Amino acid sequence: MVRILNRDEFAMQKQVVLKKLRTSVFIYPTDTIYGIGCNALDEELVHKVRAIKKRHAMPFSVIAPSKEWIRHHCILPPEGEEWLDRLPGPYTLVLRLKDPESIPSAVNMGLDTLGIRIPDNWFSDVVAELGLPVVTTSANLTGEDHMTALENINPIIRKNMDIIFYVGELKGRPSTIVRLDTGSLELRER
């Protein structure tokens, strides 16, 4: 049975829930839309998210636990620091990895790049406390509309979650993709 928690309920059970998040698949709010996440370093969980979403070919992005984590794991081009300064915010930065094996290939499909977010939302603090990257992908089946409220979540998604962090309806749109891995800056609205 899925546990549904608001921010206050999470705060009251923080240590127990943080421990559970390391081995769970969950829905959480961002500054844009609701996402499905899991510990990005647990390949089995990442495969579970892929199966739930029916998304088998496209890479996932991650919420980074900190800007320091990004600097440690990614190659920042000259304009990279400027874009890091915009985080937290509604951007997914696509960067080259210093060591492609630092992330399971199930996350980024074995590419040498990774999409990285730090949303402007309290859940980013949860990821920081976990101290590890969390998969971030829209809370929907591939090809369907993203979740904006608990009432419109696909039943298949809902039944496969361990925890749902719910804060009410979100009226955002997916983050802007900022490609910093190609040698020239490329922005793409989703």
Dump pLDDT digits (tens) for 135-148: 999 999 998 988 88
The model's confidence at residue 50, banded by pLDDT at 50, 70 and 90, is very high
The model's confidence at residue 121, banded by pLDDT at 50, 70 and 90, is very high
User: What mean pLDDT is predicted for residues 96-107?
Assistant: 95
Query: pLDDT per residue over 147-169, tens digit each?
Result: 889 999 999 999 999 999 999 99
CATH of 3-188, one of 3.10.20.740, 1.10.1760.20, 2.40.50.140, 3.90.870.10: 3.90.870.10
The model's confidence at residue 174, banded by pLDDT at 50, 70 and 90, is confident
- The reported pTM is 0.94
pLDDT above 90: percentage of residues in the chain: 84
In whole angstroms, give the CA distance from residue 63 to residue 2: 22
Q: Which of 27-41, 67-81, 170-184 comes out lowest in average pLDDT?
A: 170-184
Quick one: pLDDT at residue 185?
66
User: What mean pLDDT is predicted for residues 102-117?
Assistant: 96
